[in-house]
Structure 1
Amino acid sequence: MAHPPWMNGVSAFPSPVLQFLFNVIEFIIRPFIFVLTGAAGPFVPTTPERDRPKYLAVQKIVFVPVYTVGVVLLFLPMLIAFLLRNILHQFRRPFCLSVRKDMAVAQPKSTYSVVTGNLCLMPEIFSKYNNLDKTAQRAVKIGERVVIDQMYYTEMMETFLKNHEHTTRNGCINTLGHGRIQTRSMDKSRDLNRSQNIDSEVKVDVIAHFPQLDFLCLQETFDRDYSKLLVAELHKVYPWIVFDVGYNSPRLNYCGLNSGLMFASRYEILDIRFKPFSSRCGFCTIVGKGLLMVKVCVQKKDTGKEVGYVFNTHLQAFQGDNPIVYRQLTEILKWSSEFRAETFEDGDEVLFDMLCGDFNIDNMSPGDVHVSEHELFETYVDVCREKPGKDYDWTVGTELRTPLLHDKAVSTPEGLKAAIEDPYLRQYYLIDADIESATMDSIYNAPLKKDKHGNLILSPVGGRRRIDVVLYRKQSPVMIQNYNIITRLASLTDHIPVSATFTCHH
């Protein structure tokens, strides 16, 4: 895969010879993955494919046999290459760092923004289980939408927010006081989530474009080739990008997928560490999930540096009755503290410490109650939590119902934004925060609450399974100014990114 000449960052291998051999092996494996996807893909159709039954029939009758022959012919070369690849993995550091050296260094400031988003950039056959396909195209489109918003829409968004604030002052938007929503609009259903003030400090918006972002914490960028497509786009804005994160071994992930974590920054990265979780179950046994730890420098001074810490993670999915997530949170708390202690240097002034990611739990579902009281939430602050087991009334979910991803009503950023702002549509398209046991069936096939006439029954936890979070550490306090629910990636992923804009206390 060809890349621009400035994508010459740090290789994951200590020797260019090993890197070359690894690239050759990957080249041998790719054709097998292609024909395997072609042979199995039509049997896991997405909604757009099911809407074209004749095309799907042709795929099964004509192309599946051809792809199956390819699978048989390419299996042995793939198996040999796969074994060699796993041997080379033992000499590889657990991440790639790509640095665009021709970009100007970002200037220090007092306010920064971070976003977290699960992109579902898995191997094609796995993406199709999430009702998503054309993963290479999605990777490019996701990168393009992020870049366009950073390069061209910043001024537009600032103007929009100023106008929104003016509307708020005129009493058309909800505000929150003493933990309860006080609605001043005549249309409660449409204004439930628009530009609210939490204790007169945090401003909450559902927005159709990304705000100006300094740091990106991304999950499920599992596939190496798709990740490189995304990196090529993001490098138009972000000079430092960490990707292809994770170890590969029979013990950790059965030589399967990496952690899926990616981190992009406008500011210089000083240090990077990755730790794989010790506990896992189900599908996650073939995924090398863990904690990506990054230290960034936002300003160098004669007396030292102003630095920040950003942690990115993706926790166990579909744990059922296993306490896996609880154990992983304990490891995050331990590793984040150790990383800060090990990388802190004389003269460092720590401005912020942010923990982001897909936690695969929410704060209100009965099956997640025991996790919501974990000590991590005493160390890291979640501005959406009123208390353990209860979110503020303005919160919304971040996990879409996969069978409905391609509905026309939510296929555009503006359409998804409108759906989130309407409590009935939100409950229809987003998963409820009432999960008894987090299994694949209970989440992917979560039933809609309807009466005997088929009408939707509005629930206080409807559409509010909030699993994508941005937290900050109490030890390095920041002031959250904006908390955004972002619909820019509508139809490109099954999650809704969230961002936080914060001011640092010096």
Structure 2
Amino acid sequence: MALRESPFSNCFLEGLHTVGWGLILPCFWFLDRLIAVCMSTSLERAQRAEQECYLHPLKVFFGSILFLFLFLATAPLAFLGFLLWAPLQVSRRPFSYHQEPLSSPAPCQEGERTRGFELGATKATFGFATANVCLLPDSIARFNNLGHTQRRAAAIGQSIVQGVNRPHIRIFVDSPSSCGTLSPSSSLLPGPTNNPPGSYGATAVTDGQPLPPTPVVGHSDCGPGDQATGEIPTTPAKSGDLNDVARIPCSDNEEHPPSAEPVVSNSNQNADEHGRKGHRNPPRALRNQGGCAGSNDVPWEVSPLFPANVDIMCLEEVFDKRAAGMLKDTLRPLFNHILYDVGVYACQPPGCCCSTFKFFNSGLFLASRYPLLEAQYHCFPNGRGEDALAAKGLLSAKVLVGQSHGQKNVVGYFNCTHLHAPEGEGEIRCEQLNMITKWIHEFQQAHGKPDEVVVFDVLCGDFNFDNCSPDDVLEQKHSLFEEYTDPCRAGPGQEKPWVIGTLLEQPTLYHEDVRTPENLQRTLESEELRRKYISPPVALEGCPMVYPDFGQPWVGRRIDYILFRESTVAKHCRAEIEEYTFVTQLAGLTDHIPVGMRLSVTLEPDDAQADD
């Protein structure tokens, strides 16, 4: 059964809700500006120092008076709107759903790469990504040294489109000792450009509006004129462009000059020329800690672009309603199915797990190329402090990825969450992990069918604890990690040597080393620089900490996870990680490092032919 798009059961309730929120919004916006005008990010302070601007105190003084007056003037209307809006939350479904019309297929749908098991194939790959984007109301985001929420939302959406809607280039080294595949690095695709001085983070700004990011290269339906305009193509890429192959001649006995460029096998000559013009650095290999591709470790890379052809993406901290709408409008040409405004508001009826008043929703945002068959949200009942003001919880979705040869539906389960944030409260997070395990099991029991083939079960999000801090030892030993596989984890309290922390230090977000995607990429690849910009582990109170252990690399806090489980998938289904990616494309736009994972799934003949 298809999901209903509106969170309300009829148009009358939806109309009342719109009127109520319309009366609240002006007062809310003036309050937001009243606080924001008094707070500056470190980037804004640096810009004022460079420009020798001494009018800022006057701006703060008169701006505060103006916004305070407007806030008080609109407060009576907001109160009336609240009386209309709050009771309606009881009848509101805890998410909104957008489905793009079938007449507008998602890009890459006709690609050479099999999207799921739509054609009855026995093998497919699925791309997942997660990012905490800190899209709070502007005044609150400034406490995290991030401002201009609407501007950042537009830039984040365009960055995701730029990274995801590009050819999935595979690069091979013609060498007898070649150990595997090279990654589609910035040497073949134009990465995000460096910003001019004074730009906002990783986004150049003209007259208060973000400039479009660097155009995507490699789409056969984009002519020279389209590339020059910098517009992001939203039409489907043709099949020949999705799996382009670049071969690099290589011999064990021959050295090539640094200027040698790879030859890209691409039917689109124009895109090929653009790819060569964008060449800057030698291609970077998908690294494997064990050496060759045949080892048991995970191929990984640090990329200045989001992985190509991501199928399902989860964003956290999309608390601002207007920012969520902007992201939905930007991403919907790529992702036909979007869940946004996820969570509950105000007070819920007795017996509901959320007993306290909620000012904000969960901040979860899910975008999928595949149809959503079922979706369910649960709110954590044990939030404390500032976290109790938001309806953090778990969002579970069941997606249809195709049909097997036996005409069975091939489905996958995708779960995303955002756990309790304050440090030193591991007991609360452990309780929430217990709830997650229980809720996922109940969701799959309620919506699973015996004639379906389950090919993946993924859990991702911002867990707000890492695998190296002594303060997080309770969470590190939780039984969830016995059910789900964490590709980055060697064991409780021990990361694999190649892992990189995903939480950036907020005071240094705009330093030159981390301000642009390419600079942040170089920083993450250097252990010495990582120590300056990645948040260090949290020590137990009153206990000295020695980190890292002798002979171990410095990792930092990795709190953004993508986990997968094999025990709940079909009996004859085999999954392995094709690549794991740390993404730097949102440099200057958020204080987290997004992560991506590509899962290769193979159905054995028993399932593929429905012989079981």
Question: Normalising by structure 2, what TM-score?
Answer: 0.71
**Counterpart residue number, 1:422:** 526
Work out whether residues 410 and 416 of structure 1, in 8 Å CA contact, stay in contact via their aligned partners in 2: yes
Q: Does 1:207 align with 2:303?
A: yes
Work out whether residues 480 and 500 of structure 1, in 8 Å CA contact, stay in contact via their aligned partners in 2: yes
Deviation at 1:155, TM superposition (A): 4.1
- Residues 116 and 247 of structure 1, relative CA distance in 2, 3 Å threshold: same
Structure whose alpha-carbon radius of gyration is higher: 2
**Counterpart residue number, 1:12:** 7
**Counterpart residue number, 2:126:** 112
Counterpart of 1:356 in 2: which secondary structure?
A: strand
CA distance in 1, matches of 2:421, 2:34: 27
**Counterpart residue number, 1:33:** 28
The structure with more helix, counted as a fraction of residues: 1
Deviation at 1:338, TM superposition (A): 1.1
**Counterpart residue number, 1:486:** 583
- Residues 170 and 44 of structure 1, relative CA distance in 2, 3 Å threshold: farther
Deviation at 1:322, TM superposition (A): 5.1
Q: Single out whichever of 395-404 and 294-303 deviates more from structure 2.
A: 294-303
**Counterpart residue number, 1:360:** 464
**Counterpart residue number, 1:455:** none
Consecutive unaligned residues in structure 2, runs of 5 or more: 110-114, 118-123, 173-180, 188-246, 256-282, 348-353, 604-612
- Residues 192 and 303 of structure 1, relative CA distance in 2, 3 Å threshold: closer
CA distance in 2, matches of 1:137, 1:311: 28
**Counterpart residue number, 2:16:** 21
Amino acid at match of 1:68: L
- Residues 253 and 121 of structure 1, relative CA distance in 2, 3 Å threshold: farther
- Residues 309 and 71 of structure 1, relative CA distance in 2, 3 Å threshold: same
- Residues 78 and 461 of structure 1, relative CA distance in 2, 3 Å threshold: farther
Counterpart of 1:148 in 2: which secondary structure?
A: helix
CA RMSD of aligned residues (A): 2.9
Counterpart of 1:88 in 2: which secondary structure?
A: helix
CA distance in 1, matches of 2:55, 2:169: 44
Work out whether residues 35 and 70 of structure 1, in 8 Å CA contact, stay in contact via their aligned partners in 2: yes
Q: Where in structure 2 are the equivalents of 1:321-336 lying within 5 Å?
A: 321=425, 323-336=427-440
> Residue deviations 1:183-232, cap 9 Å, x none?
xxxxxxxx999723453452010000011200001110111111000110
Q: Where in structure 2 are the equivalents of 1:68-217 lying within 5 Å?
A: 68-101=68-101, 102-104=103-105, 106=109, 107-109=115-117, 110-152=124-166, 154-155=168-169, 161=183, 195-198=287-290, 199-211=295-307, 212-217=309-314
Amino acid at match of 1:422: S
Work out whether residues 411 and 455 of structure 2, in 8 Å CA contact, stay in contact via their aligned partners in 1: yes
> Residue deviations 1:345-389, cap 9 Å, x none?
131100000000000000110000111111000000101111111
**Counterpart residue number, 2:594:** 497
**Counterpart residue number, 1:249:** 346
Counterpart of 1:427 in 2: which secondary structure?
A: helix
Work out whether residues 434 and 461 of structure 1, in 8 Å CA contact, stay in contact via their aligned partners in 2: no
Deviation at 1:58, TM superposition (A): 2.8
CA distance in 2, matches of 1:48, 1:460: 34
- Residues 112 and 436 of structure 1, relative CA distance in 2, 3 Å threshold: same
Q: Single out whichever of 197-206 and 321-330 deviates more from structure 2.
A: 197-206
Work out whether residues 405 and 494 of structure 1, in 8 Å CA contact, stay in contact via their aligned partners in 2: yes
How many residue pairs get aligned? The number is 464
- Residues 16 and 364 of structure 1, relative CA distance in 2, 3 Å threshold: same
Q: Single out whichever of 485-494 and 21-30 deviates more from structure 2.
A: 21-30
Deviation at 1:14, TM superposition (A): 0.7
> Residue deviations 1:309-367, cap 9 Å, x none?
00000000014245100000001111111111111113110000000000000011000
Q: Does 1:468 align with 2:565?
A: no
> Residue deviations 1:417-470, cap 9 Å, x none?
011011111110110124436xxxxxxxxx9x9xxxxxxxx9957452000000
Counterpart of 1:409 in 2: which secondary structure?
A: coil
Work out whether residues 304 and 346 of structure 1, in 8 Å CA contact, stay in contact via their aligned partners in 2: no
**Counterpart residue number, 1:384:** 488
Of 259, 266, 277, the match for 2:369: 266
CA distance in 1, matches of 2:301, 2:252: 17
CA distance in 2, matches of 1:21, 1:147: 34
Deviation at 1:74, TM superposition (A): 1.2
Consecutive unaligned residues in structure 1, runs of 5 or more: 1-7, 173-190, 438-446, 450-457
Counterpart of 2:513 in 1: which secondary structure?
A: helix
- Residues 142 and 111 of structure 1, relative CA distance in 2, 3 Å threshold: same
Amino acid at match of 2:436: I
CA distance in 2, matches of 1:459, 1:21: 63
Amino acid at match of 1:466: R
Amino acid at match of 2:54: K
Work out whether residues 201 and 481 of structure 1, in 8 Å CA contact, stay in contact via their aligned partners in 2: no
**Counterpart residue number, 1:398:** 502
Amino acid at match of 2:79: L
Amino acid at match of 2:357: Y
Work out whether residues 478 and 505 of structure 1, in 8 Å CA contact, stay in contact via their aligned partners in 2: yes
Q: Single out whichever of 484-493 and 100-109 deviates more from structure 2.
A: 100-109
CA distance in 2, matches of 1:370, 1:152: 41
Counterpart of 1:119 in 2: which secondary structure?
A: strand
Work out whether residues 119 and 221 of structure 1, in 8 Å CA contact, stay in contact via their aligned partners in 2: yes
